[in-house]
């Protein structure tokens, strides 16, 4: 008799999971701050990785007491970002294959990214993933409390009509792993942004979706 699996849905973070755009958004953010007359360092952004651009930019602005207009400065950062990534983004190893495997198993899939819709749309288009592949796309503008709060994954699970406990969250950031666990989901962490030790709260840890074992979908 074939065993019935508990897993019903997979919720994908974007940056560091589907695509590695961290260097580009960091470069865009640094350029934005430089235009304001405030040079910042690449490492300044690390504590805010995975928390969405509001915190990613705002946290660095706070660190240096830089005057910060959230909407204006974020829009400028995305404008710079769009130019930087044109024709340069590729999906991370195993992305298309893993999504096909999920579809073949009848699993519902969603994107749950702390980024704004403009960045999510740019990234999906650049790596050749049509929005229609996903039953839901939840962005940072759809929720009040960002990761490590569980809100984004709870909302995504709800849109898929799936119990969070039956969802696999795929993340690369410490805050994302914490958010997934707080939502009650199981978490697969990819070591694209942080070390395995820093992601130790996840249920499974691997380099990319290409190296994820069958067990991450067999439960």
Annotate 86-113 with three-state secondary structure: CCCCCECCCHHHHHHHHHHCCCEEEEEC
Q: Which of 13, 20, 116, 172 is catalytic?
A: 13
Task: Check the CA dihedral 62-63-64-70 and report its sign.
Answer: negative
Which stretch of DSSP H or E encloses residue 34? helix 22-35
In DSSP terms, which residues pair with 137 in a beta bridge? 111
| Cβ contacts of 34 within 8 Å, gap of 6 or more | 40
Phi, psi torsion values for 112, nearest 5 degrees? -130, 90
Q: Which of 15, 116, 151, 172 is catalytic?
A: 15
Which stretch of DSSP H or E encloses residue 153? helix 151-159
192-208 in b/e form (b: 16+ CB < 10 A) is: bbbeeeebeebbbbbeb
- Specify whether 44 is catalytic: no
CA distance 71 to 106: 39
- Specify whether 172 is catalytic: no
Which stretch of DSSP H or E encloses residue 80? helix 70-85
CA distance 84 to 210: 26
Which positions are catalytic? 13, 15
């Amino acid at each position: 008799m074939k065993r019935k699996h508990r897993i019903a849905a997979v919720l994908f973070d974007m940056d560091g999971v589907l695509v590695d755009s961290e260097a580009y958004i960091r470069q865009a953010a640094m350029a934005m701050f430089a235009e304001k007359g405030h040079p910042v360092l690449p490492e300044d952004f690390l504590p805010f990785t995975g928390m969405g651009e509001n915190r990613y930019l705002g946290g660095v602005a706070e660190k240096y007491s830089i005057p910060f207009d959230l909407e204006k400065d974020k829009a400028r950062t995305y404008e710079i970002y769009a130019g930087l990534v044109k024709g340069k983004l590729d999906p991370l190893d195993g992305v298309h294959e893993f999504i096909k495997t999920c579809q073949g198993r009848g699993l519902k899939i969603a994107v749950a990214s702390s980024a704004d819709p403009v960045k999510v749309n740019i990234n999906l288009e650049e790596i050749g993933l049509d929005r229609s592949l996903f039953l839901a796309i939840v962005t940072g503008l759809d929720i009040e409390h960002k990761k490590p709060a569980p809100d984004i994954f709870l909302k995504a699970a709800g849109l898929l009509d799936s119990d969070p406990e039956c969802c696999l969250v795929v993340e690369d950031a410490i805050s994302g792993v914490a958010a997934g666990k707080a939502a009650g989901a199981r978490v697969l962490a990819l070591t694209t942004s942080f070390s395995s030790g820093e992601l130790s709260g996840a249920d499974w840890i691997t380099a990319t979706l290409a190296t994820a074992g069958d067990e991450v979908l067999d439960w």
